[in-house]
Chains A and B, each alone.
Chain A
Amino acid sequence: MADAAPAVSARLVCKQFDGIEVLRDVSLDVAKGSTACIVGPSGSGKSTFLRCVNWLEQPTTGQILLNGAPMGVVPSPKGGTRPMTAKELALARTRVSMVFQHFALWPHLTVLGNVIEAPVHVLGRPRDEAVEDARRLLARVGLEAKADAFPHTLSGGQKQRVAISRALAMKPEVLLFDEPTSALDPEMVGEVLEVMRDLAKEGMTMMVVTHEMAFARDVADTIAFFDAGRVIETGDPKAFFTAPQTDRARRFLTRYGI
């Protein structure tokens, strides 16, 4: 049964900030090894939804399941649930890695230090092993020569590739990308998307909030189109990009020249 469960399953997720509804009944399944791209206008709740997956935002109601196990709450024997303790939540979060729009690297640590930090100090893996792993991950994004550099000396594209290495070093079940190329100069977008394409090909499970429609069309297995806090279309990217079901999606795609 666990094998059949989607890597991520969101069920009727609602989120309100101070009574303002930002997500309403969002349901989405992401199959193991697949890539889901979350697209839609700014302010439609895409990022908030992504942040619900690793509980950086707590859904007001609804459920997130990671490979069948609920995130953020623990089923109690009498039925119903209780919130996870801080310790349980921290542990659950190690199963999901996140790549942020503004990189969010730790500036006081070297590139290598950034990549091994959480594996060593959160997962408790032996340092040597983590370093070896980190060098391999940095090599695959073409940054092995930068291992001892500090983040502020890197370009935006390099920073984001380091951030992806940092995310992979946790060996996560799911990788979340929150607009990973939105803060980059246009010339640097390609190098980051290329790394993400490779990951998708290798069967990494990914959820990507993005405005890169070409990437979404080519790489996604599933598209979720958000508008005003709801998912109003989901499904196959080909269908979505060639024959969107809703007017709203059609108008949205027109702005991208699609």
Chain B
Amino acid sequence: MSKEAKEALKLQADVLVIGGGPAGAWAAIAAAGQGASVILVDKGYCGTSGATAPSGTAIWYVKPEEQARENAMMSRMDMGGNLAERPWMQRVLDRTYHNMHQIRDWGYPFPIDETGGPNYISVQGPEYMRLMRKRVQKAGVRILDHSPALELLSDSHGVAGASGINEQTRQPWRIEAAAVVIATGGCAFLSKALGTNVLTGDGYLMAGEAGAEFSGMEFSTAYAIVPYFSPVTKTALYQFATFYYEDGRVIEGAGSRRGRSIIAKTLLKEPVYARLDKADESIRQSMRKAQPNFFLSFDRLKIDPFTDKFPVTLRFEGTVRGTGGINIVDETCATKVPGLYAAGDAATRELICGGFTGGGSHNAAWAMSSGYWSGEGAAQFALKQGTNRFNRNARGLSEFSGVSTQADSSKSKISTDEVIRLVQDEVFPYDRNWFRSEQGLTASLGRLNQLWLEIKQGVRADEGSRVGAREVAAMTATARWMYESGLARRETRGMHVRTDYPERDAAQHYRLISGGLDQVWVKPHTAPNNGNAEEAVQA
């Protein structure tokens, strides 16, 4: 790694999109469609980065038929703690329907089902994201790969761009933009859940420094079932599994959906094994065709998951498969900060799934819908700003947190690897994060707040690791927003489980908004909830 300072690449655009997964790609295409000039930066490579690209994912695609839509909206309402909002679900179902037909027209090879027409309820990630990259380029968007954003820029009028570095050339970049879309995904705390190691909450930290707020950060306890060695998080296929103790007895009540907590509780004491023995011969080939990389792992280890028992564990997926994120304040996915928009897993998904999401389906629909709206909204905002929109003498916002964009060279500072380990120790264990209590959360927050202060003094980069000081700070900040929100929700709702408050409390039927850097705060959302009026009335 060369230490010499290179001159920064300086660029201007109406809209800067940070993150090149599905949400960012849709945002860039939609913004360009409005006539805006657009740059997309990705910390990895737009097309392979993020949770979607390496996996197959279901899509919350429902034909515009009244009963089917109604069933789709109500099916997860209760599981999500009645926090989803019907108008948002309706618009996401509409937008997803249009976008899926759009990618068919762009050439995505959907399978043909028994109706003789294309079936739209899933996509293969590699194919989908390779296509999206092509369409982003075709829309005239400039893509900067391997170019993480390190901080947002702003002036008194709002957000004005971002700066970062190209990790391969070490050249810094600075992009002045009239509007910025944060599509950086959630935070999975480097758990290696499939494709998530680029998802370290970077966008949360940048948005937090700009003064944006969060919603639903307590809904961040998602763990996926994986073979103990494997990154491949395909929990849906475990609907065909039976779970076993080491001695071969069946673990009663264990399952991939509601029975996942039984697996967690068992894993706290002893190993758990699975076998996909509920899948009969006729469905096995279909499963292989649906999830090639799930079977790739088994084939390479010469395990037959249909006939052999294999050890499983639960890999943490944090807010990637949680539902909380940056709070959005209107239908364009704007945040409360002028010029700043949020989309995909970086934004809260409570609007369509409340406090629970069973898998990729809703998140994928949200990514393509919120991506589209945020790009359109950001472009319209930018194009209204007039000809001086780029020359704003904007300054970097990292000073608001005090977390430097540069690693510290002093040996006395805490190292990136040390921070990673300390944060993972707070968020990975089931008995801290999944099964939460006031005592546990308070103790974790004490340590995390101390760690935050230490990070502000500077972080030393470990040799040979690409994870930077800002990323480990973002993970720490994310854990603090998660746990302060978890502490404030004194009930069990959605995926948030409090062992000291095991029941749902109708008086807490609201979203929780949070924010702050040195002082994290949490408050109930004041707007009425459009999800389920009944519970609000009971309250």
A binds B: no
Measured CB to CB, the residues of A under 8 A from B are none
Measured CB to CB, the residues of B under 8 A from A are none
